[in-house]
Chains A and B, each alone.
Chain A
C-alpha cells in the first residue's frame, strides 16, 4: 500500500497570498496518477487536480498541480476567501487507492 504524507498539517495564510501544499508518497505513483481534492466543512470533497497537473472541469486557474514520482505539489497562486478549506491528495495508480491525511488552509 502506498502511504501519502501531506505537509504542512496546517497552513495559516491571508487572502491574496500564495499557498504551497506538499504530498509525498512512500513509493513512486504509477503514471503520476495523483489527484487533489478540496473539502469545506459540511460538504463533500471536490476534485481539483488529476494526473498530477490537469485541472478538473470548472476549477479556476489559480489552482495548479505539479510533481512526479513521489513528490507532488498543489499551488494556489492567490488565495480567495472561498479557498480556505482542507485539501487531500490521493493516488489512484495502484490498489488500494490511498488518501493523504490532509492539509488545512486557514485564515491567518
Chain B
C-alpha cells in the first residue's frame, strides 16, 4: 500500500525558513517522480514543485528562487526547502507521488503538513 507521510510544517515568521519532508513507502521510490502541491486555507490547489526520477526539478513561478526540492532515494524521502517565506506561502502542503514514466503529475497524495507564515 502506498503511503506518503509529510512532516516539518509549522509556524514561521516572514523571511524565515522551513524544510518539509515526505517519507514514502509501499512502492519503489527511486523509480517515481514526486511533487509538492499546496492549498491555502479555503482556496484551490497550486502546484509548487516537482522532481523526476532523474533528479530533474521544476518550480512554480511564485516559489522559484526561494524553494528547493530534493530527494534522497536511500531514505525514500523527498524534501522541500523553503526560504524567504511570505504570508502568501501559508497553506497545507501536500506531497504527491508521480508516475514511473512520462510527465510528472500527482497520482497519489499524502494528507499534507500545514505551514503558517505569520509574525
Cβ of B114 < 8 Å from any Cβ of A?
no
Cβ of B58 < 8 Å from any Cβ of A?
yes
Q: Are A90 and B44 in contact (CB under 8 A)?
A: no
Give A45's nearest chain B residue, CB to CB. B109
Cβ of B105 < 8 Å from any Cβ of A?
yes
Cβ of A60 < 8 Å from any Cβ of B?
no
Which residues of the partner chain B approach A99 to less than 8 Å between Cβ atoms? Answer: 44-47
Which A residues from 46 to 87 make CB contacts under 8 A with B?
46-47, 50, 56
Q: Which of B105, B109, B111 contacts A97 (CB 8 A)?
A: B105
Interface residues on B, range: 20 to 34
Cβ of B94 < 8 Å from any Cβ of A?
yes
| Nearest-Cβ distance from residue B91 to partner chain A, whole angstroms | 13
| Nearest-Cβ distance from residue A35 to partner chain B, whole angstroms | 5
Which B residues from 85 to 110 make CB contacts under 8 A with A?
94, 103-110
Q: Which of B35, B44, B103, B108 contacts A88 (CB 8 A)?
A: B44
Bound Cα distance from A35 to B47, whole angstroms? 13
Q: Which of B59, B94, B107, B111 contacts A56 (CB 8 A)?
A: B107
Whether A96 contacts B45 in the complex (CB less than 8 A), given A44-B111, A45-B109, comes out as: no
Bound Cα distance from A100 to B48, whole angstroms? 14
Bound Cα distance from A44 to B97, whole angstroms? 13
Which residues of the partner chain B approach A37 to less than 8 Å between Cβ atoms? Answer: 45, 106
Bound Cα distance from A39 to B109, whole angstroms? 11
Cβ of A101 < 8 Å from any Cβ of B?
yes
Q: Which of B37, B47, B105, B112 contacts A50 (CB 8 A)?
A: B105
| Cross-chain pairs A/B with CB under 8 angstroms, 14 sampled | A35-B105, A39-B45, A45-B94, A45-B109, A46-B109, A47-B108, A88-B44, A88-B45, A90-B45, A92-B104, A95-B58, A96-B58, A99-B45, A99-B47
Taking Cβ atoms with an 8 Å cutoff, the residues of A that contact B are 1, 31, 33, 35, 37, 39, 44-47, 50, 56, 88, 90, 92-93, 95-102
